[in-house]
């Protein structure tokens, strides 16, 4: 089966920060897991380069928007390998092929009669690049997201007849209760639709920095329409040898933050309907990362967690693990360096890392580095029963934190097993040789299975560990607790999560 997953494309008017890293990591966990299951996966990320925010930032710096876009797109591109993200393509909305495809699709929307020219007047947030409706505006005429003063704008625009999609969208939500996940965001989107949809502006006359409207070249498309279409256009040129559209469209999951819910759960499906394109299966909406003080992260509050600092100090896998573990995926959560350190020390170093080192060290000390080929412990095997399927079921629903939790329960189970069996005592008892063999074989097997399941979360560390165990198979199929050890050579291992000062 094909599995197509996307992140939002990130604005190039800012530097990559933790929020961008978070969405990318979450999508990467799902992409990697699906590849382990043998699915045909396509994972897309990229940058959103048109629109007012970028034009304004470039103007403020006195450079051409393209120059600013080129410079900052490089930073986002470089972020991906740094996070160990396995994206199959990186789209930039300034790619010529993207622009042509946007024009083609929106021309079809126009030809299908879903546009008209009209006058728009409203309260506009330059940072959102969006007009705000009365009931979302904060007191003092502030943007509900950026809390900055809104500007009164009036201009002649092309409009998209969103209002005519009221009924089709209601139908979509009735027929597909998992179109938007988790359910509270489904409810939020449904209420937004139920409140009544107004037409939205599709073009900008004042702006030059965008994709030209083919039927009225004095306008450029409103950046959100150009941006949303990236999910569709990328497939047509990501691979020069193949149009990937038939293979991957419709998308399985769009992963987004809740700040851009309306665009993805209302505008996007309506736009696709207007163009006669099939709708994606799911939009998964995650929450906000907050400062350690529970307030919105902001430089001025000094509560920002820098992903690069975390990776430098603790490594990429620790950042990935921390974000998936500490913030329930789908909800909001506070993050901070103190919490990173604490998870690193207690869970990564002491629980998983220590379990791995102990296991490898004991196989060396007591069995000269060969995992015993005897039967594994059926009682322990029982505690792993159905684990692989449970993880798959949770990740099918993008429940990345829950899936990690059920895996982690087994990490703890194995640590208890070491204490219960006390191999160091068995080693002193000449009559306990068989028991020691079984204990070691079971530990190697348990660590192996967990590492395969943890691989999407911590690709680097788990691969290193599996290689040391002589079991490099990363396939999901191999994540079953075998009835006997395979007797492979286990090689010495440096600590996976070394102590930090």
Active site residue 264: no
Q: Which residues contact 284 (CB under 8 A, 6 or more apart)?
A: 181, 182, 253, 254, 255, 256, 330, 398
Report d(CA 132, CA 267) in Å as an integer: 14
Can you tell me which of 34, 125, 289, 474 binds ligand MSP, judged by CB under 6 A? 289
C-alpha radius of gyration, the chain, whole number: 26
Calpha distance 115→202 (Å, rounded): 8
* 463 within 8 A of 423, measured Cβ to Cβ: no
Q: Which stretch binds ligand MSP (CB under 6 A): 17-25, 149-157, 314-322, 475-483?
A: 17-25
Contacts with ligand MSP in 59-118 (CB under 6 A)? Answer: none
Q: How far is the CB of 454 from ligand MSP (least distance, A)?
A: 23
Selected catalytic residue, list 99, 101, 110, 128: 128
Catalytic residue from among 33, 99, 101, 125: 125
Among 65, 126, 257, 459, binds ligand MSP (CB under 6 A): 257
Rounded Cα distance between 492 and 498, Å, is: 15
Q: How far apart are CA 335 and CA 48, in angstroms?
A: 26
**How many CB atoms are located within 10 Å of the residue 160 CB?**
25
For 187, 210, 244, 370, 401, the CA distances from 486, given in Å and listed in that order, are 50, 59, 41, 9, 31
The answer to whether the peptide bond before residue 182 is cis (omega within 30 degrees of 0) is yes
Q: Which is nearer to ligand MSP, 49 or 351 (CB)?
A: 49
Stretches 16-24, 135-143, 420-428, 448-456: which one binds ligand MSP (CB under 6 A)?
Answer: 16-24
How many residues touch ligand MSP under the rule CB under 6 A: the total is 19
Reported as type and span, the H/E element at residue 121 is: strand 115-125
Among 85, 200, 256, 436, binds ligand MSP (CB under 6 A): 256
Query: What CA–CA distance (Å, rounded) separates 368 from 361?
Result: 10
Binding mask 203-242 for ligand MSP (x = CB under 6 A): ------------------------xx-x------------
Which of 259, 281, 405, 486 is close enough to bind ligand MSP by CB under 6 A? 259
Given candidates 3, 4, 5, 8, which one binds ligand MSP under the rule CB under 6 A? 8
Of 28, 48, 52, 130, which one interacts with ligand MSP (CB under 6 A)?
48
125 is catalytic: yes
Provide the minimum distance between the beta carbon of 70 and ligand MSP in the complex, in angstroms, as a whole number. 17
Enumerate the active-site residues: 17, 20, 125, 128, 143, 146, 296, 299
Contact footprint for ligand MSP (CB under 6 A): 8-11, 19-20, 22-23, 48, 227-228, 230, 256-257, 259-260, 288-289, 297
């Amino acid at each position: 089966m094909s599995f197509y997953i996307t992140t939002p494309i990130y604005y190039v008017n800012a530097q990559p920060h933790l929020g961008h890293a978070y969405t990318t990591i979450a999508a990467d966990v799902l992409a990697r897991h699906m590849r382990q299951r043998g699915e045909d996966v396509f994972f897309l990320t990229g940058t959103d380069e048109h629109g007012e925010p970028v034009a304004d930032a470039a103007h403020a710096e006195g450079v051409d928007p393209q120059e600013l876009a080129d410079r900052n797109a490089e930073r986002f591109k470089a972020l991906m390998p740094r996070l160990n993200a396995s994206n199959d393509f990186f789209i930039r909305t300034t790619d010529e092929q993207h622009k042509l495809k946007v024009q083609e699709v929106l021309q079809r929307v126009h030809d299908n009669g879903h546009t008209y020219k009209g006058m728009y007047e409203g309260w506009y947030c330059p940072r959102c690049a969006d007009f705000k409706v009365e009931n979302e505006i904060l007191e003092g005429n502030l943007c509900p997201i950026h809390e900055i003063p809104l500007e009164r704008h009036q201009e002649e625009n092309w409009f998209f007849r969103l209002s005519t999609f009221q009924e089709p969208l209601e139908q979509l939500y009735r027929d597909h209760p998992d179109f938007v996940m988790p359910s509270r965001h489904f409810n939020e989107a449904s209420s937004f639709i139920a409140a009544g949809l107004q037409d939205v502006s599709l073009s900008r006359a004042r702006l030059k920095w965008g994709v030209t409207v083919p039927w009225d070249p004095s306008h450029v498309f409103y950046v959100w329409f150009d941006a949303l279409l990236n999910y569709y256009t990328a497939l047509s040129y990501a691979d020069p040898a193949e149009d990937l559209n038939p293979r991957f469209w419709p998308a399985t999951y769009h992963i987004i933050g809740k700040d851009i819910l309306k665009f993805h759960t209302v505008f996007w499906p309506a736009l696709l309907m207007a163009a006669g394109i099939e709708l994606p299966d799911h939009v998964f909406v995650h929450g906000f990362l907050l400062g350690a003080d529970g307030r919105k992260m902001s430089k001025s509050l000094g509560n920002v967690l820098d992903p690069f600092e975390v990776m430098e100090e603790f490594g990429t896998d620790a950042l990935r693990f921390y974000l998936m573990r500490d913030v329930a995926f789908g909800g909001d959560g506070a993050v901070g360096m103190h919490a990173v350190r604490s998870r690193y020390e207690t869970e990564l170093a002491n629980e998983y890392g220590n379990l791995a080192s102990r296991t490898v060290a004991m196989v060396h000390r007591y069995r000269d580095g060969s995992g015993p080929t005897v039967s594994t412990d059926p009682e322990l095997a029982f505690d792993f029963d159905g684990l692989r399927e449970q993880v798959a079921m949770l990740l099918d629903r993008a429940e990345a934190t829950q899936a990690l939790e059920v895996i982690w329960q087994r990490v703890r189970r194995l640590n208890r097993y070491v204490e219960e069996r006390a191999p160091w005592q068995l080693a002193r008892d000449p009559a306990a040789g068989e028991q020691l063999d079984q204990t070691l074989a079971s530990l190697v097997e348990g660590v192996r299975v967990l590492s395969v399941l943890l691989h999407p979360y911590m690709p680097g560390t788990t691969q290193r560990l599996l290689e040391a165990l002589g079991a490099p198979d990363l396939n999901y199929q191999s994540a079953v607790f075998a009835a006997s050890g395979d007797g492979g050579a286990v090689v010495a291992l440096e600590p996976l999560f070394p102590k930090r000062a």
